[in-house]
């Protein structure tokens, strides 16, 4: 049975939301009328800062320990000590190279531990650096009025349309809306997952500015942590979403134990301990 990392996922979702809030302030004060790529790059920097603060405050390891204790109420103190030191870090992989194999311009990869109860709940197993990946095609639209729903979106390119059928099960649209006469009001990000939908539907959404199941970033992060969306295929992540040579950016959210820290691959929860011996003297 896998241990659900619900609290850890919620923490990372809050870090993402904080980064978006800080980015909106940054656009309003310093970067009006941003380009699509500029929004992505500025956001990645804000996310890196938010996640680093959570790690420094030990919120990452505390959230992870809370998840363990929810699944293992009588967690051995020795096991709890072994899992201390978990941290999170955000890297923006900027690997520009000729070629187009992804049908998107942004990859999101979450790498984190997988924890599993085995042997009838008597042993806990740790698998490090398990990855879940999602492709995102970022789209930016502007409106002269705040809160206006009259945004017009560019369609997919011919290359993206050609590759979309191969990628749609781990593909999404990432919607940047910029409002105001000075184009300095950035709305919260919107996401439309494309799994189960065809190319004709996606083109229609963009043409009509109508996205049937648009969700917020916090929901996307929650679903990635719950392993409900995206792909866990390491070959797809390595070759399509975050390859060594690529024409897309990739935001890599890595949760890990640095150096040689952290637990071994397997730990017994109920180790037999030597009990003190008592001698009863009868008179």
pLDDT tens-place string over residues 88-117: 999 987 644 333 567 788 999 999 999 998
> Using one digit for the tens of pLDDT, what is the confidence trace for 191-238?
999 999 999 999 999 999 999 999 999 999 999 999 999 999 999 999
Nearest CA to 170 out of 92, 244, 236 is that of 236
Residue 247: per-residue pLDDT: 64
In angstroms, the CA 43 to CA 253 distance is 13
**In a 10 Å sphere around its CB, with 0-12 CB exposed, 13-18 middle and 19+ buried, how is residue 125 labelled?**
middle
For residues 220 and 229, the answer to whether their CB atoms sit within 8 Å is yes
pLDDT number for residue 100: 57
Tally Cβ neighbours within 10 Å of residue 224: 22
Q: What is the pTM of this model?
A: 0.89
């Amino acid at each position: 049975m896998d241990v659900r990392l619900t609290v850890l996922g919620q923490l990372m979702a809050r870090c993402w939301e904080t980064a978006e809030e800080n980015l909106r302030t940054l656009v309003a004060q310093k970067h009006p009328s941003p380009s699509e790529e500029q929004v992505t790059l500025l956001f990645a920097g804000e996310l890196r800062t938010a996640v680093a603060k959570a790690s420094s405050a030990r919120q990452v390891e505390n959230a992870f320990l809370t998840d363990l204790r929810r699944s293992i109420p009588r967690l051995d103190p020795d096991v709890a000590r072994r899992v201390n030191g978990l941290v999170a870090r955000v890297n923006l992989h900027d690997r520009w190279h000729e070629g187009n194999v992804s049908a998107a311009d942004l990859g999101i990869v979450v790498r984190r531990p997988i924890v599993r109860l085995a042997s009838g709940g008597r042993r806990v197993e740790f698998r490090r650096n398990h990855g879940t990946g999602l492709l995102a095609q970022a789209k930016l639209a502007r409106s002269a009025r705040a809160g206006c729903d009259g945004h017009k979106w560019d369609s997919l390119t011919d290359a993206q349309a050609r590759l979309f059928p191969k990628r749609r099960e781990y593909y999404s649209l990432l919607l940047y809306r910029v409002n105001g006469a000075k184009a300095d009001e950035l709305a919260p990000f919107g996401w439309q997952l494309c799994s189960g939908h065809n190319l004709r539907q996606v083109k229609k959404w963009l043409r009509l500015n109508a996205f049937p199941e648009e969700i917020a970033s916090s929901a996307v992060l929650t679903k990635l942590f719950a392993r409900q969306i995206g792909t866990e295929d390491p070959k797809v992540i390595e070759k399509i979403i975050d390859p060594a040579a690529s024409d897309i950016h990739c935001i890599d959210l890595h949760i890990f134990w640095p150096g040689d820290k952290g637990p071994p691959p397997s730990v017994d929860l109920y180790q037999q301990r030597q009990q003190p011996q008592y001698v009863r003297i009868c008179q």
